[in-house]
Chain A
Amino acid sequence: MTELVKMLCELPGASGCEDEVRNFIRKAIEPFADEIREDAIGNLMVFRKGEKALERPVVVCAHMDEAGLIVKNITDEGMLKFGFTGNVDIRTAIGKPVRFGGTCGIIGIKAVHLTTAEERKTMPKAKELYIDIGAQSKKEAGKKISLGDYGVFDSKAVEFGGGMIKAKALDGRTGCAALIKLLGETPAIDTWFCFTVQEEAGLRGAATMAYALDPGFALVLGGTAAFDLPEVKNGEAVCRAGKGIVIPFMDDSAIYDKELFGLLRMSCDNRGLPWQTNTRVLDKTDAGSILKTREGVRTCALSVPVRYMRSPSCVASVSDIELLPEAARAFLEELGGESE
């Protein structure tokens, strides 16, 4: 599972250009799928027959995309001006390497010696940032880069400390890894395992996926922001890395289905899977989009606590990541059991 997460995280998949992630996943799940669909905007929907069927389909989903970069202009000096596809914490973008396919670049900032004291205390605006690919002119840069090219942070996945992992894109890809793992076994009930696009761009892929499948229940897998730093008071931390899977009751995008929230807690309790819930209301998931589809969809979520979300160096606990497929499997089992 950890190796799979690391591989997935290192793939480039800026919102709007998830192709490499989708191709990787498609290859991995093809042997286990009973049906595979790709829709007009790039969602990958994979059906696997379970031990029994519910009246309406069940969806378990995660998003493939990550907050990335897109080239908007090339200056006469050969520097790239760019925008972020999705929410990137620009504090963590400065001084980081990026790549556009095989072309490497760095997000520069003038040397500290050339700054004023006031400048050092102020964050540069996203508009002021540029990417240096080593080109000397617009023409030279044009040989490697075109307007509209998508890029990502160049950040290796690293295991460190006492069972921690650092990577970019941990938020969505932990969910994708859990889905791939679950697809390798017969689920308790017929299930659509869905890999969505453009979550970071505004929960967009999930909308067409949910419309197409018209599910009775949906479970969203992914990461959620943890702020468990020193001197952050208990509840302010939202959730804590290494302290179990997060079962959210509400966030900025959704109030989760009360009964499913209860079912998730019970599923975890019955199997001794450690869980926590969020102690502050923030963050968004695909649930916000799914629950408003058609006449409405009963939706819940399972999330891995992720430190430094929206940075190239997200950090999560391996033990929490491994709980994601376990808790999702437990949910499908309980959902199957309840229908009897």
Chain B
Amino acid sequence: MDIAETVRKLCWIPGVSGFEHKAAELVAEMFKPYCDKAVTDKNGNVLAYKSCGLENAKTVLLDAHLDQIGLIVTEVLENGFLRFAPVGGVDPRMLPGNEVSVLADEPIYGVISCVPPKFLKESEKNKAVPIEELYIDTGLHDAKTRIPIGAPVSFRQNPAKLMGDVYVSKCLDDRAGVASILLAMEKLKDAKNLKCDVAVLVSVQEEVTGLGAQSGVYSIRPDYAIAVDVTHGRTPDGPSEGTFQLGSGAAIGMGPNFSRDLTKKLIRTAKAHDIPYEIEVMEGNTGTNAWTIQIVAWGVACALLSIPERYMHTPIEAVSTSDIEAVSELIYRFLIGFDGEAEK
């Protein structure tokens, strides 16, 4: 499986939080070749299963979220202009001039408006334009009949390859995570000595409510869960602490959100197989599905593997494909060596 090609396929599918059902169908198809079965549920989650065939085998859940941040139409104005609200954490400063798809019955092209500097008052010049004052310009004369209020909106930036293996795209958060699980399942396809059952949850609404992780994990009832998400890549304008160089491997989470035994097992696996990794210490809420999953039903022993990503929640999210590979390799090596007892 070519990583960049897999990521490209996954990122192309629109799945704004709350509107993931179509994406779920497509993603379920991608998992089918490597699993005993892959289905979608009423919330739009993808649930896939691979059994090891042993009786009383423990279940390890791999989770990555399907949804992406986006916008939602709140009002259709004259001359094809739309007002909108954010879905998930959107930085208003990177919106003006961006191209979007309004996901009505047929996707509709739009550009986010901006006020040219010469039209700004002196006092406004250094201020970001608040989201309430921006419009989507569809250029349509009949927008009112074609676009319903409540239609989701996705970015439509084309992906790009930078130097080395840096890949740029919208919604790599968290399709990069989905890709690393897909790759791990592919590697696992012909594994002979699997001693645990594997379940995959590609979950909805991580960016807003956590519904997908909550409901999906409740259905699956795993013994262990490894959440796969993105973490902040290091940039010149950001902090150097708590951020990771692209290409530095899997970031393994540590803190109260995680099972110490499961985490140690992952670290030992990484060391044994020369898989690059770093430790990401989080003293409280990790802002990932692991936080939700840990306390579903009677509780789940959790771990978190993250892919460093620059410019999170923009249309130009950037990751190194070697980090996706590192996470998938770590998941694969862990699963084939795991007999269901983390503390050993």
Contact = CB atoms under 8 A, between A and B. Distances in A.
Contacts of B33: none
B94 interface: yes
A96 B110 contact: no
Contacts, number: 199
Given A140-B163, A162-B80, A95 B318 contact: no
Interface stretch (B42-50, B197-205, B233-241): B233-241
B81 A310 contact: no
Residue among A97, A110, A156, A282 with max Cβ neighbours from chain B (10 Å): A110
Interface stretch (B23-31, B127-135, B178-186, B254-262): B127-135
A296 to B, nearest CB: 27
A149 to B, nearest CB: 14
A108 B127 contact: no
Given A110-B238, A134-B162, 19 more contacts: A89-B114, A91-B96, A91-B97, A91-B114, A91-B129, A105-B162, A109-B311, A111-B313, A112-B313, A121-B128, A123-B125, A134-B161, A162-B139, A227-B119, A307-B137, A308-B97, A310-B116, A315-B137, A315-B139
A113 B135 CA distance: 24
* Size class of the B contact interface (CB-based, 8 Å): 35 or more
A27 interface: no
Looking at B77, B81, B168, B243, which has the most chain A CB atoms within 10 Å of its CB? B168
Contact of B118 (A140, A156, A283): A283
Given A161-B140, A308-B116, A123 B126 contact: yes
B21 interface: no
Interface in B214-254: 232, 235-239, 243, 245-247
B310 A95 contact: no
B316 A95 contact: yes
B93 A108 contact: no
A161 B287 CA distance: 39
A148 interface: no
Interface string B71-106: 000000111110000000111111011110000000
Interface in B60-78: 77-78
A315 B111 contact: yes
26 contacts: A79-B236, A95-B98, A95-B314, A97-B157, A97-B316, A104-B168, A108-B310, A108-B311, A111-B314, A123-B93, A123-B127, A124-B237, A134-B161, A134-B166, A136-B246, A156-B158, A160-B110, A161-B80, A161-B138, A161-B139, A162-B139, A227-B119, A229-B115, A311-B114, A311-B116, A312-B97
A37 to B, nearest CB: 34
Secondary structure of the A side of the interface? loop
A198 interface: no
A294 interface: no
Contacts of B109: 158, 160-161, 166
A151 B158 CA distance: 18
A51 interface: no
Given A79-B236, A95-B94, A106-B318, A112 B138 contact: no
A89 B253 CA distance: 40
A311 B119 CA distance: 14
Nearest to A236: B119
A309 interface: yes
B93 A109 contact: yes
The winner among B77, B79, B89, B138 for most chain A CB atoms within 10 A is B79
Interface in A199-232: 225, 227-230
Contact of A113 (B89, B114, B247): B89
B331 interface: no
